[in-house]
Amino acid sequence: AQKITQTQPGMFVQEKEAVTLDCTYDTSDQSYGLFWYKQPSSGEMIFLIYQGSYDEQNATEGRYSLNFQKARKSANLVISASQLGDSAMYFCAMRDSGQNFVFGPGTRLSVLP
């Protein structure tokens, strides 16, 4: 069965600094996708970034990058130059060959001015 672990319930970062949110996953599939979503206090789920299991390069989307270490089964999200608007819940998710879409427990990020 799939499992996503996010060990940081909450994180603080100073504005303009970089922050890394941890995610580890467990699957027996060779083909899978890893996703990060942001959920601000307004409640909507916003897709941020995707990494495929066969992608050799780490994914990047603007200030977001994904530090993918396949052997360690980790897919950490790095946010550079944090902004106050980055304060939100962040969820790591995985989709495997069964097309299931499972989320981790989330990390609450607070950006300090």
The first and second tokens of residue 60, run together, are 């990047």
- Residue 19 vs 35, nearer CB to other proteins: 35
Question: Among all chains, which residue has been given the structure tokens 């990047």?
Answer: 60
Question: How far apart are CB 110 and other proteins at their closest, in Å?
Answer: 17
Helix (H) or strand (E) holding 21: strand 19-21
Question: How far apart are CB 40 and other proteins at their closest, in Å?
Answer: 12
Question: How far apart are CB 73 and other proteins at their closest, in Å?
Answer: 18
Beta bridge partners of 51: 34
Binding site for other proteins (CB under 8 A): 31, 33, 35, 43-45, 47, 50, 52, 54, 91, 93, 95, 98-106
Strands 107-112 and 10-14, bridge-based pairing: parallel
- Residue 52 vs 62, nearer CB to other proteins: 52
Strands 64-69 and 19-21, bridge-based pairing: unpaired
